[in-house]
Amino acid sequence: MKSTFFLFFLLLLVSCSKGFGDKVESGNTTIFYTTKNEKIVAEKLAKYWIKNQIDGKEKQFIRLLKYKEAYHLQLISKEDFKSSTLSFEEIKLFTELQSDLNKLVFTSLPCKIILCDDNFKEIYTPVSE
C-alpha cells in the first residue's frame, strides 16, 4: 500500500504509558480498547496493520473508541506535527487508508481517523465527512 511510507514518516509515534484501557500488541504497534467488542476490532486492526506493512520500526500507539456514529481511530502523531503542513496527497492517502479500513476492518460501523498528541488529545482530523 502506498500509504505505508507516508505513515512511517508522519506517524513517528511517541511513547505512551498506561491508563488508556486494555491493549492488543502486535509488532511495534499497541492498540488500546475498552470493551470486549472493541477487542475483536482491535485484533482485526492489528492484523491489517501488519499485513499492510504500516507497523514501523518505531513504537506506535493507537486508541480505539466506539461512538454511535463511528469508531474513532486515534493515532499519535509526531511531536512537531502541524496540520497545515499536510499536502493534498497526504490527505488523499489518509482518505484511502480510512476507506480501506472501513471495507476490511470496520465493516459494521465505520472508522474516523484522528491524529492526536501523546495523551490522545485530538489535534487534527485529516478526512472530512
In the prediction, which pLDDT does 129 show?
60
pLDDT of residue 67: 92
The arithmetic mean of pLDDT across residues 36-45, rounded, is: 92
- Please state, rounded to an integer, the average pLDDT across all residues of the chain: 81
The domain segmentation of the chain, as residue ranges, is 3-124
Handedness of CA 121, 124, 126, 127 (dihedral sign): positive
pLDDT band at 57 (very low <50, low <70, confident <90, very high): confident
Task: Provide the terminal-to-terminal Cα distance of the chain, rounded to the nearest Å.
Answer: 23
Top pLDDT among 8 and 69 is at 69
